[in-house]
Structure 1
């Protein structure tokens, strides 16, 4: 099982913030562990929305360049994959308040991060309800 899926953290979010839904005991030294995948997905959405507020990032290219920097990732391949999966040009503005668009974006990121996207539509619905 991929680490992100096992940690209920499909975005592979590193420790640093006190996220809602964190497990009381964190046994992964690098990545957060959540009590359920909805909380990990919720954290992904919150981070992407914060990229808009804090950095004025609004495109897939900007989001992924910050999420998966070239110092740690093949950022260009990540951008290309997500852009194609979402069906939106990497430089097009994304509405982070559009649940449909954000679900497709986050699903593509989960696939890229873990090599699979095992979550049902209901899991994403519950994640949005937690916002």
Structure 2
């Protein structure tokens, strides 16, 4: 691991999910502004990945977002991100044609999404496959 971990890796929240008291995520640690003012923290990267996956599923199922572009535009607003580059990276990682509909309920699609988001949010960081697979399994359970 690099000596300077990214915030997402340090918080075991590789999707950089904002803390919201309404979200009672599995494995979420109680907020501590001395450690982290904005983002949720988790007890394991698997639970952080689970929350990331659950949030993506909510975007798809509750909000009807079916394309990589629609999902990433909500995940990473253009005010804070180069959303077009982010979308291209996720499409490439999931083997999705621009504008094609995706089904995040399919483990390979969810895994590709999660890996691309972790890579983008954490300066190229990649967890071992076993960690990602377990986080995705928890998200889809």
Q: What does residue range 66-81 of structure 1 map to in structure 2 within 5 Å? A: 66-81=74-89
CA contact (8 A) 1:64 1:78 kept: yes
CA distance in 1, matches of 2:7, 2:132: 19
Q: Give 1:67 deviation, angstroms.
A: 0.3
State the superposition RMSD in angstroms. 1.4
Is 1:24 the counterpart of 2:30? The answer is yes
CA distance in 1, matches of 2:28, 2:79: 27
Return the match for 2:14 from 10, 20, 27: 10
CA distance in 2, matches of 1:61, 1:5: 25
Deviation per residue, 1:85-131 (Å, 9 max, x gap): 22212311111111111101110111011112321121123213434
Deviation per residue, 1:19-62 (Å, 9 max, x gap): 11112353311101100000110011101100112210011101
Q: Give 1:66 deviation, angstroms.
A: 0.2
- Secondary structure of residue in 2 paired with 1:13: coil
CA distance in 1, matches of 2:42, 2:70: 26
Question: Number of residue pairs matched?
Answer: 131
- Secondary structure of residue in 1 paired with 2:93: helix
CA contact (8 A) 2:12 2:45 kept: yes
- Secondary structure of residue in 2 paired with 1:80: helix
CA contact (8 A) 2:57 2:104 kept: yes
Q: Give 1:71 deviation, angstroms.
A: 1.6
Structure 2 portions without partners, runs of 5+: none
TM-score, normalising length: structure 1? 0.92
| 2:126 alignment partner in structure 1 | 118
Structure 1 portions without partners, runs of 5+: none
